[in-house]
């Protein structure tokens, strides 16, 4: 191993902005099982499928329609 290295010609990682951020999220067991089932069919890890689905929602600007029932 060298004592010193020359990084003067180095370039920034072009994928820097595309790196994934690890988060903890609580999902219902049925949701995970659903994506795991699809995962086995298509050969893509279920976490990647969930990410792809959320990306699709983001790109198509899908909004959830929630109505809360107020009990008196």
pTM, full prediction: 0.66
pLDDT digits (tens, 9 = 90+) for 7-26: 899 988 887 777 888 899 99
State which CATH number among 1.10.1220, 3.40.50, 3.30.530, 1.10.10 fits the domain covering 20-59.
1.10.1220
| pLDDT of 57 strictly over 80 | yes
pLDDT of residue 69: 84
Would you kindly state where each structural domain of the chain is located, as residue ranges? Answer: 20-59
One-character DSSP codes across 10-32: ----TTGGG----------HHHH
pLDDT digits (tens, 9 = 90+) for 47-56: 999 999 999 9
Residues 6+ apart with CB under 8 A from 65: none
């Amino acid at each position: 191993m060298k004592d010193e290295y020359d990084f003067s010609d180095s370039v920034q990682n072009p994928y820097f902005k595309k790196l994934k951020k690890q988060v903890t999220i609580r999902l219902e067991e049925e949701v995970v099982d659903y994506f795991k089932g699809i995962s086995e069919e298509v050969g893509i890890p279920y976490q990647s499928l969930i990410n792809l689905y959320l990306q699709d929602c983001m790109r198509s600007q899908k909004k959830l329609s929630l109505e809360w029932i107020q009990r008196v």
